[in-house]
A and B are shown apart, each in its own frame.
Chain A
């Protein structure tokens, strides 16, 4: 392991598959962890709900809690008709949560610390909002950019502002998740390498290393919280944007 705090984000090709027109197609460590996350979630949900007892056992109640938690979030944020998007939101939430938690295991790769991944997820959300909104409301969907009850001269200023605000959603959605995960992992790596560096300086150094050790322990706990919180915020904001697709009139 090197001491460079950004080395942990390096993508490496594990299995080369093809090279089409100069574009390298390979199974990367990022892809492996995404597959592992999907496999873990599927396996966990299938096995834990296999019994389907009325009084749930431990595993089944974890699965039920996850379901109810996301269902409550969707209902309270997107409304009852937002429940048609429940599978979408649940998939996003569990996928991001699992990727974030995988990143907390030493030597594991943090997929969500790459902005292209988070941006792709955010674009998926915004595409669903746009396509569903236009499918369901037609051109009335664009009333989203024209708040009702505003005088016409003001609309000329407000409409571009609303459009930029709408376009900034995927950016802020992806930036937030990516920045949180990357900053957290860099901070963890930095403080952890301080321990090693100080520890190499003899007895006084070892005494000094206690401080970064404490910080690392605290940061690890904080990072677990951030891993969960960021997945939750992503799901909540997805629901808020889906609410716009369902009810474009403000």
Chain B
């Protein structure tokens, strides 16, 4: 009886120490993770992110306007093609934005866990 009790206590002790080690390791990992580090590198990647998102949005609207203009030229339906395709381009731009933002989030979460990005 006393034997098992002693064993149990030493197991608890080991568990406790393991947990402590886990916590310390996690802390160190977080410290060395570049995503958590402050500084100029972060600002630069912020500008890069902004440019990426803006180009996703703007290019869809551009393509929408061009398609609408082309359809108007072909069918002679002057304001309607541009109007409708501008709206479609806007929607596509938003879709692009959401997807790009999702992708950015995944990149920040780390490349190892991104093998299941089926919804992109």
Contact = CB atoms under 8 A, between A and B. Distances in A.
A164 B67 contact: yes
Nearest to B67: A164
B114 A168 contact: no
A113 to B, nearest CB: 15
Contacts of A162: 92, 95
Interface of B: 44-45, 48, 51-52, 55-56, 58-60, 62-64, 67, 85, 88-89, 91-93, 95-96, 103, 107, 111-112, 114-115, 117-120
Given A161-B95, A162-B92, A168 B63 contact: yes
A213 interface: no
A212 interface: no
A179 B55 contact: yes
Interface residues of A, number: 32
Q: What is the interface of chain B mostly: helix, strand, loop, or mixed? A: helix
Given A164-B92, A168-B93, A175 B55 contact: yes
Interface of A: 72-73, 75-77, 79, 157, 160-162, 164-165, 167-169, 171-172, 175-176, 179-180, 222, 225-226, 229, 233, 236, 240, 243-244, 247, 250
Contacts of A160: 88
